[in-house]
Structure formats: C-alpha cells, structure tokens
Structure 1
Amino acid sequence: MIDRHDPHTGLHSEQGALRGEHPGRAPDPIIKVHDLAWLEFQKPDLERAEIFAHAFGFTTVLRTHDQLQLRGTDPGSPCVLIHRGPRSRFVGPAFRAADSQDVMRLADATRRPVTRLPVVLGGTTVDLIDPSGCQVRVVSDTDELPALPGQHPLTLNLGHDAPRINTTQRPPRQPVSIQRLGHVVLQTTKYLETLNWYLGHLGLIVSDFLYYADQRARGPVMSFIRCDRGATPTDHHTLALTLGPSNRYVHSAYQVADLDSLAAGGEYLRDHGYHRSWGIGRHIQGSQIFDYWRDPDDFLVEHFTDGDLFDNTLEPGWAPMTASGLAQWGPPATKDFLGVKPGRESARELRELLTALRADNEFDLDRLRGLMKVATS
C-alpha cells in the first residue's frame, strides 16, 4: 500500500503573514544594498586555511604573512578575507552599496566616518556595529577583479529531452570551482532588534520567516533576508538571522555550477580527510541544493547550486521551524549541523545558554523550549 503522507505538509506557507505580524521590510530604509561583497575572518594559521580553501574551490588573490584573500570565478571583489590573529573568529560581513552616495548617506545617518579601504581592495567603507555586536561594513567603488575560467554545467538528458548523444558523463573528482559568495547566516540573542536594524539601515527584505511550534503569536525566530533591487531578481537570502543563546557566525555559502560539480567536489574533500557536516540535499526555504563542510578551524561552509531568485514583489512566507523542515530531500540533519553534537562548539553553546537565560535579551525559557523541540523534530 502506498504511503501518501507528505512529511513536508504544513512546513512552508506561501499565504504570508497574519494580521499584525512583521511585514518583513522597513517602510523607509536609509539605503538599499545590492549584495554581499565579502566576509572577514581571523585565523592563526593562514597556511592551513589556504590549503583547505583550494580544496574547497577558492582561488588565492593575495597571500602575505598577515593576510589571505580568496575569490571565486565571477568578476568582482574577493569572497573571503582572512587576517592572521591569535584565535579563530568571524569578524563580520561587508555589503556592497549601490554607489558612493549611498555610503555617504549611511555614514551621515549613523554619524560614522567614511574611510578608505586598503589599496589592495580599493574603494571606501563605512563601518557599523549591528545590535548583536557584529562589525558590518558597507563598501563602494572597490576594485573589480576580472572573471576567471570556471566550470560549466553538464549537458543533461532530462526525460525525453536528450541533447547529449554519443557522449558520456565523467565529471572529474577534483575541487569544485567556487563562482561567488551567496549568503551568511548569523545567530543573535537580539533577533528582532537585529532584524529591524538590517531592514532599516541596509534596506534588506524578508523572503521567509520561521517561528517555533506553538509560538507563532510571539513572533518569528528566524528570517531569510534578500537584497531589494526592485524588479531585478536577487538570491532568496543574502543574510539569514536566527535567535539563539549566543551571538555568533553559523555558516556561509558559496555558489557552484551544478549538482555534479558539487558532488564531485565533495568526493574530493572527503578523499582528502575533510569532514562533511550535512548533505547532499535540497533545502525548502531557498530551494538550493546544499552540501555542508567543516573547515580546519571548525567554521561551517556550504556549497550550493540552483537557488531561488526573487524580485521585490514577493511577500514573506511563514512556516514553523523544524529539523525535518530544513530539506525537501537528503539525509536527516546531523547533530553536527544542528550544533548539538558533543564537542567544543556544543559545550560553548551550553555555557552561552546559561548566560543568555540570565541576561536581558530575547532568548528566554519559552524560547529555549521551542529550540529544544526543533532539535528533536
């Protein structure tokens, strides 16, 4: 007998908000950023970081004793800047403004100075701090790196449409070529305040809200947020924010050409001893095919392909947050991905949880109960 139960029923609503719920955008933002420019990290061992970066699919732009710049094949800025430091930590994201006038406008509104970026990057920046304490740069007029040769999607025989005749498919087991930076996910103890800050300062808009089961009336606890470029489609999320017991980096994601390059690149990483956190599968919010890996400094990084693109006409979707609702297909979300695997990260998160419950923030005992339900769903 066929089981007709759909495990995804009710996990995603495209009906939008109920009356009085968060609209997912600010009525009059200061500016509207166009994209993520890069992410900045600090690490003590740049040699080890570069070895993994090449296996993961990056190309080195700049390598000095104190700095490593990594890029994809698309034209533009480097994707990742790594500075040598005493410990591994995420420094913050840089967003690209539409032009220098927007940088000036944001600087005036926040009473922050506009400064020149290092000559190796070019351009200017206004450096802000979000409500969670994360450094946020908004940059313009940075130097444009030319495109590099990259991987092309394979020609596929799909159903009765068969353009590939007398030719085999043999994708090599080699590092995938990163095309570009896609998004970053951050956890915050001040979710609503931080969300409103990004919407109001940078003009980002929400694609999807998630809420804890039986707690929708208290409001969302996660949002997938995209850039507002009007009729120009943008990634389903450039930034995602989630409520939690600490303010921290969760993961970042980098686009690749197709499923075959993602899978073959994953085989290469596995052959070279790196740890797959979760994958391969297809997400619900954003729809992208994903594959998550841990770098040697324990940062979570994602290969993705075939993600959703939205213009500014779509209103936010609303859905309950569940572990099973993270993917349409693929293996169950791992304890490592969910952050509950015994180890340094989960121990640190437990210490932060106890601190958060005693502090004045949005993460209280009811929210903890909701989060525990997610981890066991």
Structure 2
Amino acid sequence: MSGTRAGEVEHTDPATPHQDLHSEQGALRGEHAGRSRNPVIKVADLAWLEFEKPDLDRAEVFARDFGFAVAARTDGELWLRGTFAGPPCMVIRKGRTSRFIGPTFKAAERADLDRLARVTGSSVRETDAPGGGRAVDMLDPSGLPVRVVHCGEELPALPDQQPQLFNFGTDHRRVNASQRPPREPSRVQRLGHVVLETRVFQRALDWYLDTLGMIVSDFHFLDGQRDRGPAVAFIRCDRGSRPVDHHTLAMHLGPGNGYVHSAYQVTDLDAIAAGGEYLAERGYQRSWGIGRHIQGSQLFDYWRDPDRFILEHFADGDLFSCDVAPGWGPLSASGLSQWGPPVTRDFLGTNPSPAKLREVMRALRGDNELDPARLLGLMKAMNS
C-alpha cells in the first residue's frame, strides 16, 4: 500500500482483490488510506491506562480478582501490572469521582519524545511510573489527554498460567493425565487495547495516524453511508514486518467522548472461562461473553468493575504486519462476533437513560461529526 497522509485519500484500483485476511472487502477508489504518509513518530505499543477512583481499596480487590498483580501502592496511587515483563498496565489515582483520564503509549526510542515535543509544542518530563522514564503529554481532538512515554527500567516477568494441553482427533498430547484448570483469577499477561468513543471521529482518527504513526486494520461504515466515510476504525501500531495486535486502539463515532472498554490478554480459553467463573462467584457483572470476535478474532469475555467500567479478558488474537491493508465492512451488532451469546444492550451502551439522552442532545447541537443521519445510522447498526 502506498503511503498516503491520513487526511488524504488514496486512489486505488477497485478491481484489485482484497487480501481477504480479515474483512470481506478492501477500500474503494478514493477512500481513506488508513495510514499517514509522514507521521511524527511511530509508537511501539500501549503502555498503560490512567483512571481516577475514590476508593482504591475496592479497586484493588477487583483488580486482584480480575487477574492483575500490584506493581506499586501508595495512599494516592495504585499501579497494576500483568505477568509479562514491561511497563505496568494501569494506574488508578485517588480522586473524588470515578473517571478515565487517558491512554499512555510507548515510544520506540527516547529521541521520539524530543521530536514529538518539538512538533506538538509540548515538553518532555519525568514520569512517576515504577521504573521511571520520561513522557510527553498532549490532547487529542476529542480533548482526551494522551501521553507518550519512554520507559526506564522494565518490570520483570512474573509466573504465568500454563496453557492447557489438548487432544485433537488422533493427535494425543495429553496421556494418563486429566484436564483440571483451577478456579482462580485469570492471570493478566498484558494490556492489549483500549476502545474510545468520539464525536469528532475523522479528526481524531487522522490525529492518531499523523501524530503517533498508527495504521488502520479495519474500517466499518454505516449502512447506506459509505460515501460519508467510516464510523469505526480498528487501529494497530506500525512495527514494519514485525507482527502486532490487530488493534491496539479502536475508535467509533458516537455522542460521547472517552472510554468504552479496555482489553487484557490471558493464557487461553480455559483461563478466560475459569477466571469468569471466579468473578461470577464473587458477584461481579458480566457485560458480554464468552465468544469469539470477527475483527481481531479474539476469544473474549467482558466484565463490569465496581465503578461500572468494562474490562475484557481476551486470548488468541490476530497479528498483522505493516503489509496488510485496511479491510472495509458494514457496521452491525451481529457482526461483532463469530459465535457466542447475542451482544447485550449493556455492552453496546444502548440502555436508555436521561443521562444518555442529554449526551445525545449535546452532541447533536455541538461542533462535531454527529448529525441526525449519522445518529440514525448508528442506532440502526446497533439493532442489526
């Protein structure tokens, strides 16, 4: 795929067959290229997510039940991590209300921070993360704080859950042994991705592609509105020929601005299922699952924490190199999974409430990309 700036379009031959790796079709002539010709930097991964919550003790109980380990704890901060070596997954700071602050991405090189600060008019500062490091703080077009960090000392690896051995047909790998996955928390290995909602989808998309060098894996468009461009993007890091997660960031157009859910890798399906039973026994609410996605192919299971944030256990996701071009497909609720229970209204966020109605009215009045036609298209997709 030739390099085209995120805000521009690429004139591709519509007769060229799509690679059919992840979507039924590719781009039509003149559609969004899904990558920037000359990004400021290319981030390597997500580092961590930042939240504020009034009750850190309650947050820690859920975190341990969900499968995080504690990297550091003070009266005002709780740093959570997975079993893999690297940066922490999440920091929760004590605050008056429960809210998502923003994502932190990992720079490939220390020099990237200087380049980013120079172009965006920011400054490079020290971080308070375990292991230290330096960071640049910015705002995306939605007004969401976004940080890019170059970590100092990485956290060492912790003991991991071992994957189960399976017998397949005549391929017998487990003999004279039983299958007994323990009923315990699914040990989180790492942070996989975060999903954000934005009223300024096109502007936000182009910012992440132009500023952080991310590239699109898949676009979704609204029924009958493909000519207006995509409304959903699954976005990955560009590590060249090195395969990376199908999406590290996903964004969709909507009346809100901010966090939708975040996803954390665990060992396998048994870890997802046994860990889910552990959470259910302790009274936590499953939002949706267990199933397998279409975009990204992950096995998934979504849970609400005590502050109503949705967190996902996932395993067995797709990995793409930079050579895979964006796929294009229509947005529908039924198209979110290959198998599993029907998607819930809780997961989709379509439960009616006065707060949701006020959010929609504010979005329709504001200077953003959501208008009545787009709103009706989103509502139709969530019921299809």
- Please give the range of the TM-score, normalised by the shorter of the 2 chains: over 0.9
AA matched with 1:209:
F
Q: Which amino acid is 1:358 matched to?
A: R
Paired residues of 2:288 and 2:347 also in contact (CA < 8 A): yes
Matched, 1:97 2:104: no
In the TM superposition, what is the alpha-carbon distance from 1:13 to its structure 2 partner? 3.3
**Residue type matched to 1:327 in 2?**
S
Of 150-159 and 276-285, more deviation after overlay is shown by 150-159
TM-score normalised by length of structure 1: 0.95
* 1:49 corresponds to: 59
Does residue 1:323 correspond to 2:330, yes or no?
Answer: no
Q: CA deviation at 1:120?
A: 3.4
**AA partner of residue 102 (structure 1):** D
- 1:245–1:353 Cα contact (<8 Å) kept: yes
Q: More deviation in 73-82 or 135-144?
A: 135-144
Deviation at residue 142 of structure 1 after TM alignment: 2.7
Select the residue among 22, 25, 29 that pairs with 2:35: 25
Distance apart, 1:99 and its partner CA: 1.0
Pairing 1:114–2:124 present: yes
Contact 1:236/1:308 (8 A) holds in 2: yes
1:368 maps to 375
Provide, for residues 68-87 of structure 1, a one-character-per-residue CA deviation record: whole Å limited to 9, x for no partner: 00000000111000000000
Within the alignment, does 1:200 sit opposite 2:207 as a pair? Answer: no
Task: Report matched runs for 1:230-241 at 5 Å.
Answer: 230-241=240-251
Are 2:71 and 2:130, in contact at CA under 8 Å, matched by a contact in 1? no
Number of the residue aligned with 1:84? 94
Paired residue type of 1:150: D
Is 2:154 aligned against 1:155?
no
How far does residue 14 in structure 1 lie from its aligned partner after superposition?
4.0
8 Å CA contact 1:127, 1:138 repeated in 2: yes
Whether the 8 Å contact between 1:77 and 1:142 is mirrored in structure 2 is: no
Q: Given the alignment, which residue of 191, 211, 227 partners 2:221?
A: 211
> How far, CA to CA, are the matches of 1:185 and 1:350 in structure 2?
22
CA distance in 2, matches of 1:159, 1:223: 39
Give me the TM-score of the superposition, normalised by structure 2.
Answer: 0.93
Letter matched to residue 239 of structure 1: L
Q: Give 1:284 deviation, angstroms.
A: 0.3
Total equivalences in the alignment: 364
Which letter maps to 1:339?
Answer: G
SS in structure 1 at match of 2:280? helix
* Deviation readout 1:162-185 (Å, 9 max, x if unpaired): 111111101011111000000000
Whether the 8 Å CA contact 2:44–2:105 is kept in 1: the answer is yes
**Secondary structure at the residue paired with 1:37?**
strand
Identity rate, percent: 61
2:345 is aligned, of 319, 335, 340, to 335
Question: Which residue type is aligned with residue 338 of structure 1?
Answer: L
Stretches of structure 1 that go unaligned for 5 or more consecutive residues are: 1-9
Q: 1 CA distance for matches of 2:182 and 2:46?
A: 31
Q: How far is 1:330 from its partner?
A: 0.2
Give matches, 1:4-43, under 5 Å: 13-43=23-53
In structure 2, C-alpha distance between the alignment counterparts of 1:58 and 1:281, rounded to whole Å: 22
Residue 3 of structure 2 is matched in structure 1 by: none
Give the letter aligned to residue 278 of structure 1: W
Q: Paired residue for 2:85, among 75, 96, 115?
A: 75
- 1:279 is matched with 289
Q: 1:124 aligned to 118, 127, 134, which one?
A: 134
Q: Output the CA distance in 1 between the equivalents of 2:48 and 2:230.
A: 27
